Chains A and B, each alone.
Chain A
Amino acid sequence: TQLLEQSPQFLSIQEGENLTVYCNSSSVFSSLQWYRQEPGEGPVLLVTVVTGGEVKKLKRLTFQFGDARKDSSLHITAAQPGDTGLYLCAGARYSGGSNYKLTFGKGTLLTVNP
């Protein structure tokens, strides 16, 4: 089993602060996905990064895939209360054809206080 270590596990910050969440592994992944999950709901995809060194921006969110495709980070600028939720990273490993399996990290529970 390829493990994905997310840090920090919990993060409580004030509105307007910046933050970074890390996702690290000793294994190489074909791609890395970031999901956001709100209480009582299923995860919703934020972004997929595929190429080593890739950086993607989604408004105030910046995602980076490590050069070796083993790690990733999520940076949020000027956090808002609406950013509150559980952030999950998931690494994809192909298992034949177009099939792949996701390995999920344990998640980072972010609380942004007004």
Chain B
Amino acid sequence: NAGVTQTPKFRILKIGQSMTLQCTQDMNHNYMYWYRQDPGMGLKLIYYSVGAGITDKGEVPNGYNVSRSTTEDFPLRLELAAPSQTSVYFCATRPTGEYEQYFGPGTRLTVT
């Protein structure tokens, strides 16, 4: 099992460009999460999903969109990238009834 995979690993965007960060899991977990991690700031929740077709906002959703058409995939879309979106983005999953979240390796995004 690959667990949680994220692509790309690194990306540089110009201000105003858009992109999609991909997250795929093969563990059949219902819950999926997107976090961003800024230096010295811990992880902040952007969006989450409790199952296919259901998504909801987290703590810092502005500037992002998500979709969850399948159990496996939970892409994060950035429209009109801004320097404030420079960060490391982590996708995580969690099986129903358990506490542990399983994190992907992250995508390091720089907006200049």
Question: Is there a chain A Cβ closer than 8 Å to B96's Cβ?
Answer: yes
Cβ–Cβ contact B42 & A42, under 8 A: no
- Residues from 74 to 98 in B contacting A, C-beta threshold 8 Å: 90, 92, 96-97
Which residues on B sit within 8 Å (CB–CB) of A68?
none
Question: Is there a chain A Cβ closer than 8 Å to B64's Cβ?
Answer: no
CB closest residue in chain A, given B43:
A104
Which residues on B sit within 8 Å (CB–CB) of A45?
99-101
Which residues on B sit within 8 Å (CB–CB) of A98?
96-97
Minimum C-beta distance from A109 to chain B (A): 9
Cβ–Cβ contact A33 & B106, under 8 A: no
Cβ–Cβ contact B101 & A102, under 8 A: yes
- Top 5 A-B pairs, shortest CB-CB distance: A42-B103, A104-B42, A104-B43, A106-B42, A48-B99
Which residues on B sit within 8 Å (CB–CB) of A102?
43, 45, 101
Complex Cα spacing A48 to B99, Å: 7
Identify 9 residue pairs between A and B in the complex whose beta-carbon atoms are under 8 Å apart, listed by A's number.
A33-B100, A42-B90, A42-B92, A99-B31, A101-B58, A102-B45, A104-B42, A104-B44, A107-B42
Complex Cα spacing A104 to B50, Å: 20
Cβ–Cβ contact A106 & B41, under 8 A: yes
Minimum C-beta distance from B27 to chain A (A): 14
Question: Is there a chain B Cβ closer than 8 Å to A114's Cβ?
Answer: no
Minimum C-beta distance from B103 to chain A (A): 3
Say which residue of B44, B58, B59, B103 sits within 8 Å of A43 (CB atoms): B103
